Amino acid sequence: MGAIAMNSDTSAKIIDGKAVAKQIREEIAADISRMKEAIGVVPGLAVILVGSRKDSQTYVRNKKKACEGVGITSHEVHLPEDCTEEEVLRHISYFNSDPSVHGILVQLPLPRHMNEEKILNNVCIEKDVDGFHPLNIGRLAMQGREPLFVPCTPKGCMELLHRYGVEVKGKRAVVIGRSNIVGMPASLLLQRQNATISIVHSYTRNPEEITRQADIVISAAGVANLVRGSWIKPGAIVIDVGINPVDTDSTWAMPMMVVLANARLITPIGSGCLEQIDICYVRPFN
């Protein structure tokens, strides 16, 4: 069982991401304190932000706060929208060779004039805390291999399942969305734990029928109100990390109240799910 007990009844239970984040934060802080005392090393995370997107600024600010909360040193570089690709690569090269920096994160998305693949591939694999380097993704996909880092959002989803005592082995899981950041690595992580996986995407026929077969649903589609209550079979576990901006607000991919009627566990808007995911960025330094 995970660290957080589940109710024995079949009514829906809200997943408390804030409680999970608090647990993880305390565990990491204790590990870092022991490491500092034993070998005198304080982990360092470098974050490179290009441009002035408000959502990206918020994500970077939250990651900095997560670092400060557990004793990790954060280094932040904020470059203008019109900076050159070479400037970004120069900062990556500097942090690659800086022994006080143990992880490098390039905040996505990057401006359109930049080659995202080239930039991410230049991050040293040993410091690729986002887990986006092809070698890390390749290791994640291969049996008998272990990636040095795993993309944070899907890792956070798996952490929620674990801490709520959800058995993944042998279950049927559906991942809605197939992005490199969430959907694809989430499906690989579920497969590693011996779930049977289906991926629903924009070209999937009968997505409702496929999703309704799932014991576990991870939605990362980023389309507001995509998933309806009829998509969720009774007793399913539902994790929704697909945020879509509607006007000035962020709206989940699922209308919570209609899904709540069927789900056994669900992550609601504002539950702290994303706070829990932010703290997973600093977990690799354990």
Any idea what the Cα angle at residue 284 is, between residues 281 and 285, rounded to 5°?
105
Beta strand 243-246 pairing with 44-50:
unpaired
3-state secondary structure (DSSP) of residue 163:
helix
Q: Determine whether 130 is an active site residue.
A: yes
Rounded-to-integer distance, Cα 27 and Cα 7, Å: 24
Q: Determine whether 278 is an active site residue.
A: no
3-state secondary structure (DSSP) of residue 218:
strand
Q: Tell me the two tokens of residue 131.
A: 């887990």
Which secondary structure element, helix H or strand E, spans residue 214, and what is its range? Answer: none
Rounded-to-integer distance, Cα 198 and Cα 188, Å: 11
Distance of CA 133 to the CA centre of its chain: 15
Catalytic residue among 16, 128, 130, 278: 130
Residue with tokens 């697909």: 242
Catalytic residue among 63, 127, 155, 171: 63
Phi, psi dihedral angles at 103 (to 5 degrees): -150, 140
Q: Tell me the two tokens of residue 55.
A: 């959502």
Catalytic residue among 16, 107, 128, 155: 107
DSSP 105: E
Rounded-to-integer distance, Cα 105 and Cα 128, Å: 7
Which secondary structure element, helix H or strand E, spans residue 59, and what is its range? Answer: helix 54-70
Catalytic machinery residues: 63, 107, 130
